[in-house]
Chain A
Amino acid sequence: MSTTAQALLPDLADPASFQDAVPFGAFDYMRSQPGFYWQDASIGVANGGFWAVTRFQDILDIEARPDLFSSVPGAAWPGTNLPADPQLNPTIDLLMHMDPPRHSSVRRVAAKAFGPRVVKNFDPWVREIVVETLDHIGTLTSFDYITEVAQVVPALVIAQIQGVPREQRQWIVDRTLDAFAAQGTGDLAQTAEAIEKTMAYYREELIPLKLREPQDDMTTVIAHAIERGDVTIGEGHSFLNLLQGAGFETTHTLIGQSMRMLLEDPEVAERTVRGIDELGPDKVVDEFLRIITPAMFMSRTASEDTVVGGQEVRKNDLLNLYFIAANRDETVFDRPDEFDPWRTETASLTFGSGTHRCIGNALAKLELRILFEEMSKRGFSLRLDGEPQRGRSVFINQIRSLPVAWA
């Protein structure tokens, strides 16, 4: 690579590089180069930086080999290069930080609750939450779409799934936001402290409650799985904590960013309306998922010296798999930057691939689909009412604020 090109490339380890926009141009360049792109980094790595993997097929190949590319040292940089000693690593029991066969046995317990047929049955109560949320914004004149809609819907949905009583829902959402902020700093002690607050709530309040009064919710399922010995106490508690975060942050990003695109780009708006009409909402939702890619990457650590994607990697090298770049790989997607719900290449990497593929994918799609259906039923039409604000995150394609008013 020429030094000029390198000088122009953003530092993928610096949240500032994602502050104004996702650096899609840089990802296109990296994808066009042989091997992977090396990014220096000072935290979360054993070997001085990480490889940015940006091609679709390379990511599939890496995620298909958990024996060579492990999740145990961490799955989202900078929360990586974690110590193997359970005493020093607060995330040792996290499902995302496991390889088979341990991963498989824990995942089976959870997968049942999120299978496509199970999630279909969530429709009535998710719709109720969406309707309630839309009723509320109907009473406002100008408001922030992120705090009033994008955060509210997934927070209430995940709280319902976990079985968190209504009066504790805001508290648990605030703890989730804290934990995300802490993880973003790469500070283990701060992360442990933030996670522990949520874990303590599940351990000391919710699990005992569900054992006394079992209900049709995830905390009851996990409480019973712990009692039967299907999962350990640590695995069960960590899973509830993971669901809390994973179900919230990415879906809220999807809902917020899709509305931003609709408001900023008349072509996206026109294609969304026409697409829902001609194709039904599912393909429109899939295209938003591809083009937004809420979780921009996941990480793997090489467990030995190997060659992948034309790149020699060393043992303990970190590989960040940029789903958001691969989802615009022109060898896979025709006109990749264009929002086109009619496209036939629909298998995106938004949820990742392989054994760790997002367990909640059907739920995320359901939430956006119902939101679109209910919005269009009401003929809701919004306009931008201020400058949207992105988040400062290397990991999530975040949007922090989207001021809107009725059109």
Chain B
Amino acid sequence: MPEVTFTQPSGERITVSADVGRSLMKVAVENLVPGIVGECGGDLSCATCHVFVDVPWVAKLPPMTAEEEQMLDVTAEEPTAASRLCCQITLTEDLDGLSLHVPETQR
């Protein structure tokens, strides 16, 4: 099972593991990772699962759809080139060790 680490604004690191094929947002919400809201349930209509992907991992993720890019305008915190909505990240074996930062606010 791939492991993913969410680093909180406080510096606290939370590592979760889950089955391949699952949505990273859902995994984070089920593991009560603070700061990942996922209000719309993965519908790509709320932008409350914003994460900053640690730079080495940015290029290893599948590219953004136009819809995801559009929804980055709606995030509470200013997005960067490393921003993703984690409902759009599906876990694969290749993502084992993925490391992300959680923004200060999601709303």
Contact = CB atoms under 8 A, between A and B. Distances in A.
A106 to B, nearest CB: 9
Contact of A115 (B40, B44, B67, B73): B73
Size bracket, chain B contacts? 10 to 19
Contacts of B73: 112, 115, 118
B35 to A, nearest CB: 13
B45 A107 contact: yes
A355 B43 contact: yes
Nearest to A114: B74
B51 interface: no
B75 A354 contact: no
A100 interface: yes
B70 A355 contact: no
A186 to B, nearest CB: 29
A353 B67 CA distance: 22
Nearest to B68: A108
Contacts of B67: 108
Interface in B54-107: 67, 70-71, 73-76, 78, 105, 107
Interface string A57-71: 000000010100000
Size bracket, chain A contacts? 20 to 34
A108 B75 contact: no
A299 to B, nearest CB: 19
Contact of B47 (A104, A115, A353, A354): A115
B71 A111 contact: yes
Given A104-B45, A115-B47, A354 B71 contact: no
A355 B76 contact: no
A354 B42 CA distance: 10
Contacts of A114: 74
Interface string B5-40: 000000000000000000000000000000000011
Contacts of B105: 116
A192 B39 CA distance: 32
Contacts of B75: 115-117
A103 interface: yes
Contacts of A361: 107
A357 interface: yes
B46 interface: yes
Interface in A159-193: none
Contact of A112 (B40, B70, B76): B70
Interface string A181-214: 0000000000000000000000000000000000
B71 to A, nearest CB: 6
A111 B72 CA distance: 10
Interface in A85-143: 100-101, 103-104, 107-108, 111-112, 114-118
A138 B91 CA distance: 60
Interface in A328-377: 353-355, 357, 361-362
Instruction: Give the 7 A-B residue pairs with the shortest CB-CB distance, closest first.
Output: A115-B74, A355-B40, A116-B76, A107-B45, A104-B45, A104-B43, A111-B74
28 contacts: A100-B43, A100-B45, A103-B43, A103-B45, A104-B44, A104-B45, A108-B67, A108-B70, A111-B46, A111-B47, A111-B71, A115-B73, A115-B74, A116-B74, A116-B105, A117-B76, A117-B78, A118-B74, A353-B39, A354-B40, A354-B41, A355-B40, A355-B41, A355-B45, A355-B46, A357-B40, A357-B46, A361-B107
